[in-house]
A and B are shown apart, each in its own frame.
Chain A
Amino acid sequence: QSVLTQPPSASGTPGQRVTISCSGSSSNIGSNTVNWYQQLPGTAPKLLIYSNKQRPSGVPDRFSGSKSGTSASLAISGLQSDDEADYHCAAWDDSLNGVLFGGGTKLTVL
């Protein structure tokens, strides 16, 4: 497996709650922590969630992460227009001895 599996797109209306999934295997998500990155158009990625569910300083608590087995999820509540971005999951892979990223999910706020 060369990438973690994410849906290519997701959408929601302002105020709504949306979730984005990330599926992996025993060598990555199943045995290591998951990180989530937000990438606004034309900018570098920004760390959103680390260690499955921890938020760096400055990240609103509207963003939350969870992990179960070989899958993880990012939830965004109280959706806002400036949440429109690409979201990427990532995890260390023991077989690769490196990092695997998901293909990215483009979130549209309708």
Chain B
Amino acid sequence: EVQLVESGGGLVQPGGSLRLSCAASEFTFSNSWMHWVRQAPGKGLVWVSRINTDGSSTSYADSVKGRFTISRDNAKNTLNLQMNSLRGEDTAVYYCARAPGQWLVYGMDVWGQGTTVTVSS
């Protein structure tokens, strides 16, 4: 079964760091653009970051630029999100998602179950 499984969420103090991971299985991970999307409690979906197939190109939402870093390890079929200088407004469920095409032409067709990040003292 094609699957994405996130891990690494938890409770962290403001200013702290957290590293999220997303393990991919049953598809050719190295052929897929990948995204992180988050959802604050009771709110809508917000795009966080994306990375191209070989990791050479990334982009970020303005709200996380300079604090978050997306990366991937195609040998391990793993997507990562390093989150530094965390703020209360970063509290959310974080989803990783697969995008078969570059410009979202085919949408985000596989989503993980999400991992919860809570930033609080």
The stretch of A13-21, A66-74, A75-83, A94-102 that contacts the partner chain: A94-102
How far, in angstroms, from A42 to B76 measured CA to CA in the complex? 29
Within 8 A of A (CB), among B90-121: 95, 97, 103-109, 111-114
Within 8 A of A (CB), among B10-44: 35, 37, 43-44
How far, in angstroms, from A47 to B46 measured CA to CA in the complex? 15
Tell me whether B104 and A33 are in contact (CB under 8 A).
yes
Tell me whether B45 and A90 are in contact (CB under 8 A).
yes
Tell me whether A32 and B104 are in contact (CB under 8 A).
yes
Give the contacting residue for A98; candidates B45, B61, B105; CB below 8 A.
Answer: B61
| A35-B47 contact, Cβ under 8 Å, with A44-B95, A98-B59, A99-B35 | no
Tell me whether A97 and B108 are in contact (CB under 8 A).
no
**B50 close to A (CB within 8 Å):** yes
Given contacts A90-B47, A101-B45, A101-B46, 17 further A-B contacts (CB under 8 A): A33-B105, A44-B95, A44-B113, A44-B114, A47-B109, A50-B106, A50-B107, A50-B109, A56-B107, A56-B109, A90-B45, A90-B108, A92-B103, A98-B59, A99-B47, A99-B104, A104-B43
